[in-house]
Chain A
Amino acid sequence: MSLPIDSSYRRRKLWLQQAVFALFRVLSYAVVAVLFLILGFILFHGAGVIDWTFLTEAPTDGMTSGGIWPAIVGTFWLMVGSALFAFPVGLISGIYMSEYAPDGRLVAFIRTMTNNLAGIPSIVFGLFGMAFFVNYLSFGDSILAGSLTLGLLALPVVIRTTEDAFRDIAPSYREGSLALGATKAQTIWRVLLPMAMPRVITGLILSLGRVSGETAPILFTCAAYFLPKLPESMFDQCMALPYHLYVVATSGTDIEAQMPIAYGTAFVLIVIVLAMNLLANAVRKHFEKKLKSK
């Protein structure tokens, strides 16, 4: 019950609230509309370019026609390579953080380092990859150097998701397993890992989606402007989709003729990110179902 004196004050307040809420709603819808606009714009222009030859042929006529097959292959290998590095290393360090590391300063320090690594701009990874993998370890410009650089970029995400996934498992599972006489390693391998796996895999897939679109780290460690051949070993350079998009959009002999190719490449990149997101969701759902049915 509000007093009559209150009511005009309250009405004014409610009116203000409605105005503010309306403003926020409009701004939010505007932002989401802009985001949809960007996606729609690229998907609309790109969809017309995509056909079988575009996806399966190499660029021809100085990048003004032909397809993007070598770039697709290159990006695929870079994703595989970085996963092969980031997944085992990230998984093991994540498990260490959750299961082995003594609480206190040490863990706080490692966590700070991991956070810092996550915050370093991708171009700095590129510089480091060039100085360390390409020059110091003399891998040269190669898929190996490129995927290791990208793997470092993905590492913090994998570590963090692994650690979170393990920490969220109730202690009773560990205690139960240890009480039955299992060692700590057995407990991790047989009990905790299967339970944490869905979230770890989801995190890995999402970070691979991000890796597929990174350009700055591979600029100087791997990416080639144009290669007619597909890479034959991990010491070859390769083309990659994001770098291809950058090249086609900003340099070249005939920008007008290159525009459709740029739209097509951007389309494929967005589709990869979308597909990775959907895949991550599907994996999570699949594992969740499996766990429940047990």
Chain B
Amino acid sequence: MKKWIDRIARWVFTVSGFTTSVVILLIIGFLFTEAAGLFRNPIVEEGYVLALNPKNPVKELSAEQIKQLFDEDITNWKEVGGPDLPVRVFRLEDLDQLYTEEQLGAEYEFAGAKIAEQVQQSPGIVAFVPDVLVQEAPGVRCLPDRTIPLKDVLLGAEWYPTATPSPIFGILPLVSGTIWVSFFAILIALPFGLAVSIYLAEIAPEKVHKLFKPVIELLGGIPSVVYGFFGLAVIVPLLQQTFGLPVGESGLAGSIVLAIMALPTIITVAEDAMRNCPRTMREASLALGATRWQTIYKVVIPFSITGITSGVVLGIGRAIGETMAVLMVTGNAAILPSSILEPLRTIPATIAAELGEAPAGGAHYQALFLLGVILFFITLFINSCVEFVSARNKFKR
């Protein structure tokens, strides 16, 4: 009986030991399947086609060109490699203005024929219509549609996920937004973080250490929405006044909030690393006549540099993955930022802001999962860096 319990226990323990590994695999699996679906979507919204006059020789349009055509930024076919012909944009709604209800039929049964009529009449037309209406129509050339190319997503400089007829999923503005915000956050957090960790580990009297340490740890536990709210209530208006900005929500506001949030991580890890420096090494240095400061920067810091680095890298990881605080203070403009004082948008903030509105299973939804995959890999990379660094540290000892 006892033996049986022992065996069952061993079995239960072993199975549940693998929980985290299974969860990671599930995360990878689900994120990847959804994200990969994006590249099976056509450029033009599903169920629709772009119909052209047969005389128009244009063979291919990219998502960006289609958007410019329909925004009337491109007004001549010359600009996309066609003949010198003015562009006429035609949407399904335009039918109601051109024809009466009777002409279109009670259930739109003549709509296809009327569209074909329009397309035949004007050589410069580009019509965005449901594919069932024009597939059989004579004298209409449907632009052959491609699936969304990987290159346009990874190197695209525009993010217009809800544009019709063809949404644009260029992730560069989001990636660069994330990098800008995290970079400046670390730039701000680094000097403070290092100073505080050196002070706490080496200089501070015991009393001060006992007071500061729990406070800093507590601040690591404060929810990110609270930091975001503080940023919104205090830092954003402050920046707006100081720099005379039209809006205070900016990359810099995000960086400041993130710097404050990354500080506890950096300080805790770096301080622990310095405290692990053996007493004997310190004493040897002091005995040779070095001052305390010389001991710190010639002995303690070089010894614990790997630990300090992991603290900083973990801080960067926290900054890159942080969602709510950034969402609240950066203004969320999905453009390539030209300065840190402009509104910008990060990868996590985009997911949080848009997933609620993206219909499940659609291209937009899948694009947001792709962002999740990218984020997942960034953090995986950062974690591996930390593990690599700490593994080297063991070797050194």
Chain A contacts to B: CB under 8 angstroms:
2, 10, 13-14, 16-17, 20-21, 23-25, 27-28, 30-32, 34-36, 38-39, 41-42, 89, 92-93, 95-97, 99-101, 109-110, 112-117, 119-124, 126-128, 130-132, 135-136, 152, 155-156, 159, 183-186, 188, 206, 209-210, 212-216, 219-220, 242-243, 245-246, 249-250, 259, 262, 266, 269-270, 273-274, 276-277
- A124 and B225: CB pair below 8 A? no
Residues of A within 8 A of B380 (CB): 116, 119
Residues of B within 8 A of A126 (CB): 351-352, 355
Q: What are 14 of the A-B contact pairs (CB < 8 Å)?
A: A24-B198, A31-B263, A38-B219, A42-B226, A136-B30, A156-B20, A213-B221, A215-B324, A216-B323, A246-B228, A249-B228, A249-B328, A273-B222, A277-B218
- A115 and B383: CB pair below 8 A? yes
Top 5 nearest A-B pairs (CB, nearest first) are: A213-B223, A121-B321, A96-B17, A17-B293, A27-B195
Known: A100-B14, A123-B372. A274 touches B218 (CB 8 A): yes
> In the complex, what distance in Å separates the CA atom of A13 from the CA atom of B291?
7
- B20 and A155: CB pair below 8 A? yes
Closest Cβ of chain A to B306, distance in Å, is 16
Known: A13-B291, A38-B230, A210-B221. A100 touches B10 (CB 8 A): yes
- A127 and B323: CB pair below 8 A? no
Residues of A within 8 A of B26 (CB): 128, 132
Choice from A2, A17, A97, A123 contacting B351 with Cβ under 8 Å:
A123
- A93 and B24: CB pair below 8 A? no
Interface check B229, CB cutoff 8 A: yes
The dominant DSSP class at the A interface is helix
The dominant DSSP class at the B interface is helix
- A97 and B17: CB pair below 8 A? yes
Interface check B395, CB cutoff 8 A: no
How many residue pairs link A and B with beta carbons under 8 A? The number is 256
Residues of A within 8 A of B195 (CB): 23-24, 27-28, 31
From 137 to 193 in chain B, residues with beta carbon under 8 angstroms from any chain A beta carbon are 191-192
Known: A32-B215, A36-B215, A220-B355. A124 touches B324 (CB 8 A): no
- A38 and B260: CB pair below 8 A? yes
Closest Cβ of chain B to A126, distance in Å, is 8
- B221 and A242: CB pair below 8 A? no
- A270 and B321: CB pair below 8 A? no
Q: Which residue of A lies closest to B221 (CB)?
A: A273
Closest Cβ of chain A to B163, distance in Å, is 23
> In the complex, what distance in Å separates the CA atom of A128 from the CA atom of B34?
10
Choice from B212, B221, B233, B387 contacting A206 with Cβ under 8 Å:
B221
Known: A17-B292, A206-B221. A124 touches B212 (CB 8 A): no
Residues of A within 8 A of B243 (CB): none
- A127 and B351: CB pair below 8 A? yes
Closest Cβ of chain B to A271, distance in Å, is 11
Interface check B287, CB cutoff 8 A: no
